[in-house]
Amino acid sequence: MKPTKEFVDGVCRKLVDEGKLIEAGWAGLKFTAIPDDASALQLNEMRMAFFAGAQHLFASIMGILEPDAEPTDTDLRRMDAINRELDRFLEEFKLRHAKPGGSA
């Protein structure tokens, strides 16, 4: 049985307060989209992939920013492109994993 949204939000909030933003994202994904019967190996591999993606994104952002102190137009365009890409992913994720609304 999947935990409630309130439980997941509480766990994530606690982790963020501890300075573990990426771990909070992983916990949210694990609780909402990974089957309860996933093996320890599968969970470990998925966590590694999740963190690898986060590390890639962060390192890429840090690597593409212009060396000026203030963000340049190019920096803003690149950040906007990342935002759009992640928004598309989130919509796809919701379609696959969101619980249907309404009643029957």
pTM of the model: 0.73
Whether pLDDT at 62 is above 90: no
The reported pLDDT for the residue numbered 102 is 66
| pLDDT band at residue 3 using 50, 70 and 90 as cut-offs | confident
The reported pLDDT for the residue numbered 69 is 78
For the chain, what's the residue count? 104
DSSP letter at 20 equals: -
The reported pLDDT for the residue numbered 48 is 94
Which residues, in sequence order, are CB contacts of 40 under 8 Å at separation 6+?
Answer: none
How many C-alpha atoms does 22 have within 13 Å on its Cβ side?
A: 12
Per-residue tokens: 91: 């919509």
Determine the number of helices (DSSP H) and then strands (DSSP E) in the chain.
4, 0
Whether pLDDT at 104 is above 70: no
Per-residue tokens: 97: 């994993």
